[in-house]
Structure 1
Amino acid sequence: MFNSSDFFKKRFSSHMKELSRYLRYIFNGHLIIVMLFLVSALAVYYQQWLMQIPQNFPGPFIISIVFAFVISYSPVRTLLKEPDLYFLIVAEDRMNAYFRNTLVYSFVIQLYLVFLAAAVMGPLYFAVFPDRTGRIYLLTLIIIFILKFANLIANWWMLKVRDRSIRTVDLTARSFLNLVLMYFLVRGEMLFAALVTLLFVSIFLYDYRLSKRQLGIQWELLLEKDQSRMQSFYRAANMFAEVPQVKSKVKERKWLVSLLTKGIPFHNEKTYDYLYRITFVRSSDYIGMYLRLLILGGVCILFVPNMWVRVVFSVLFVYLSCFQMMSLYQHHRLILWIDLYPLESHFRKNALVKLLYQLSVLQIIIYGGIFLFMHDVRGAVIALAACSVFILLFMNGYVKRKLAM
């Protein structure tokens, strides 16, 4: 006799083993040290900034946006796999316990977002409202937990609707109401918050009635959503270890490919130069990660007041970008025809090292430009020198040693 509750336990155990295997590589020694430094530095400057917060700073609106995002982002993890479309669909009427457990799991694993947002926004909340007590903030968090769960349930109901436009309109409406509700709640305007709550409840009940009118479970949609989230995790883990399950998304980006490859001579020894450049551009994993780190580093340099900390941030983000882009070397490991190239292996390694140098130099120049924009010539010179020395040592030491393994 099929027991969906026991089936969930087995699927959950397998899922956790898979996550833990890759999380060990993601949270390695390098990343832990970087994260500790980032969190510590940002916490210090965040506290200093709160001591001189401007009178007209839109604190309630900022807090509302953060909390509304945390509430609205409530995906359902069903842990489904492709064979389930054929073997579980016949047991659909006995899957209630399984999906109930997945809802509980989805809610629990997303609680860290609420706690993280509460920890970050707490100091700002009390800086904007110094006369309020911790009990009021705690009550606000309890309401956030309730709204988070309600949005999760509503998202589950809407996953029974095949029409994508209906799901999009519903999510947009609920997200807007979450933002307005949190704004009135943070401001302490309870009457308006109660009115918005009634509007939210009406949409919540409409979602319930709409889901009841649907025939069965949309297995394909559930599988698509779950696989999309797992692929995001695999792409992140693939930056640190080989992940056979990853399915890279490739985009043409003709103009960018043309820009980066037009200067490469048509010679055999330049084969890998061309390959790694178009891989970097056309795969969203690499160019997306590079741009995010570039922008995040620039924002940190722009808003941190101390020059020496800005210099450290510039070196830190140059290191992170270079370290992440090293996984380009293994990107084509499963493609047999690359091993058939009539080229020596040192051409491949030299091509990657050259690309890493070029990306690092571009990042260093941009960070130097940010220093000059802030009229900090001394900081620009020190940052350029520190980043250049670091990248030379890192490339000739760690990178070349890793590629030789």
Structure 2
Amino acid sequence: MFNSHDFFMKRVNAHLKDMSRYLRYIFNGHIAFAMLFFIAALAYYYQQWLSTIPANFPTAWIMGIAIGTVVSYSPVRTLLKEPDLVFLIPAEHQMGAYFRNALIYSFIIQLYIVAIVMAALGPLYMATYEHREGSTFLWMVLVVLIFKIWNLIANWWMLKVREKNLRLIDQIVRILLNIAVFYFLINGEMLLAGITTILFIIIFLYDLTLSRKQAGLTWELLLEKDVNRLQTFYRFANMFTDVPHLKNRIRSRKWLVSIVDRKIPFARKNTYDYLYRITFIRGGEYLSMYIRLIIIGGVFIYFLPNIWIKLIFAILFLYMSTFQMMTLYQHHRTIMWLDLYPVEAEFRKKALLKWIMELAIVQTILYAIVFIVAQAYLGFLMTLVGGIIFTYAFTNGYVKRKLA
């Protein structure tokens, strides 16, 4: 007899084994050191800023939006696979234990996000509302967990609804109500917090009524949601190691391709120059990740007060970008055409090293411009010189050895 509970436990054990394998590559020594430095620097400057926080700082709005967004984002991880559409649909009436376990598992794995957000907002709450007892924040954490459970269950009910617009409207309404509840709660307006909670419960019960009217589970939607989330993780893990399960997405970006294409001479030795530049622009998440790191690093450089810490962050983000661009070398590992190119192997490594160095130099120049905007002119010169020296040494040292 089919036991959906045992089936889920086998599925989740295989999933956790798969995730742990990639997480070991993601949180390697390099990334662990970078994260430790980030956390230490942010904690120090966060504590310094809290000591000078203005009286009119909108703490309630910031905490309300942050907590409301966290409790609203409650996806259900079903761990379904494509063959399940054939083999499990006939046993849908026996899948109750499976999906109950999926809800419990989804709640547990999302607790770390709640813990991180509440730990980050706790000092801000205590600094702003010094007159309140510390236990009030603990009660708020309990309320956050309750709303997290409610939103998770509501999301599960709405996954049975086939109308996409109806699901979107429900999600928007619940996000707004979640933000309102926690804004009023943090601001001490308990009556308004109670009213918005009642409104949320009405929407919650409406979702239940709506789901009960559905004929059955929307298996295609459940599979699509879970596959998309898994592919998102694989795309992130692919920046650190080879992921054979990844389905690469190709984007056109014709105007960027035309800009890069014009600058590459039409010669046999430039074959890989063209390949890696086009891959960076069109394939995977390389371009978006590169832009994200530039923006995040630029924000840190602009707002951090100490010029030496600014410089360290500039070098650190240069290191992160360069380190993750190394995966371009293995991007086409499953394509046989590279082995058939009448091009010497040394051109392949030189092309990637050249492209990585050019990207790092562009990033260095942009960070140096941020120093000018922040009116730290000495930092501009130090970043420009230090960034170019680091790029040359790291690329021709560590990256070159790893490619060999």
Range of TM-score over shorter length: over 0.9
Structure 1 residue identity aligned to 2:72: S
- 1:193-342 paired onto structure 2 within 5 Å: 193-342=193-342
2:399 aligned with 1:391: no
Q: Distance in 1 between the 2:180 and 2:255 partners? A: 41
Shift of 1:323: 0.5
Q: What amino acid does structure 2 have at the position aligned with 1:120?
A: A
- What amino acid maps onto 2:13 in structure 1? S
Task: Confirm or deny: 8 A CA contact 2:68 2:179 kept in the other structure.
Answer: yes
TM-superposed CA distance for 1:242, in Å, is 0.9
Range with bigger deviation, 263-272 or 171-180: 263-272
Identity over aligned residues, as a percent? Answer: 55
- In the aligned structure 2, how far is the partner of 1:161 from the partner of 1:287? 35
Structure 2 residue identity aligned to 1:115: A
The answer for the alignment partner of 2:89 in structure 1 is: 89
Secondary structure at 2:295 match in 1: helix
Q: Which amino acid is the alignment partner of residue 184 of structure 2?
A: F
Tell me which moved more, 164-173 or 259-268. 259-268
Name the residue aligned to 2:4. 4
Query: What's 1:76 paired with?
Result: 76
Whole-Å separation in 2 of the counterparts to 1:203 and 1:176: 12
Task: Give the Å deviation of 1:12.
Answer: 1.1
Post-superposition CA distance 1:312-344 (Å, at most 9, x none): 000000000010111111111111112211111
Q: Deviations over 1:334-358 (max 9, x none)?
A: 1111221111111111111111111
Aligned residue identity for 2:283: S
Task: Indicate yes or no: 2:65 matched with 1:65.
Answer: yes
In structure 2, distance between residues paired with 1:128 and 1:253: 47
Contact 2:235 2:284 in 1 (8 A): no
* Paired residues, number: 404
Q: Which runs of 4+ in 1 moved over 2 A?
A: none
What is the CA deviation profile of residues 86-138 of structure 1, one whole-angstrom value per residue up to 9, with x for unaligned ones?
Answer: 11111000000000000000000000111100110011111111111111001
Instruction: Classify the secondary structure of the residue corresponding to 2:285.
Output: helix
Secondary structure at 1:387's aligned position in 2? helix
What is aligned with 1:120?
A: 120
Residue 161, structure 1, aligned to residue 147, structure 2: no
Report the alpha carbon displacement of residue 291 of structure 1 after superposing the two structures with TM: 0.9
Partner of 2:369: 369
1:136-165, Cα deviation, whole Å (9 max, x unpaired): 001111101000110000000011111111
Equivalent-residue separation in structure 1 for 2:60 and 2:275 (angstroms) = 49
Alpha-carbon separation, structure 2, partners of 1:89 and 1:339: 44
* Matched AA of 2:103: L
Deviation at 1:392, TM superposition (A): 1.2
Alpha-carbon displacement from aligned partner over 1:13-60 (angstroms, at most 9, x marks no partner): 111111111111111000000000000001000100111112222111
Residue 359, structure 1, aligned to residue 374, structure 2: no
Tell me if 1:347 matches 2:329.
Answer: no
Q: Secondary structure at the match of 1:67?
A: helix
Could you tell me how far apart the structure 2 residues matched to 1:177 and 1:339 are?
A: 57
Provide the TM-score with structure 2 as the length reference.
0.99
Instruction: Give the root-mean-square deviation of aligned CA atoms.
Output: 0.9
Normalised TM-score (structure 1): 0.98
> CA shift at 1:284, angstroms?
4.7
Q: Which residue of 2 aligns with 1:143?
A: 143
Give the letter for the 1:138 counterpart. L
**Structure 2, unpaired ranges of 5+:** none
Q: Distance in 1 between matches of 2:403 and 2:240?
A: 14
Q: Which amino acid aligns with 2:175?
A: S
- Shift in Å, 1:78: 0.2
| Residues 272-295 of structure 1: CA deviation (Å, up to 9, x unaligned) | 111111111113510111111111
Distance between the aligned counterparts of 2:138 and 2:239, measured in 1?
A: 38
Q: Distance in 2 between matches of 1:99 and 1:170?
A: 22
Aligned residue in 2 for 1:34? 34
Which letter does structure 2 place at the counterpart of 1:311? L
Q: Which residue is 1:15 aligned to?
A: 15
Structure 1: runs of 5 or more not aligned = none
Q: Show the counterpart of 1:379.
A: 379
* Equivalent-residue separation in structure 2 for 1:293 and 1:331 (angstroms): 20
SS at match of 1:266: coil
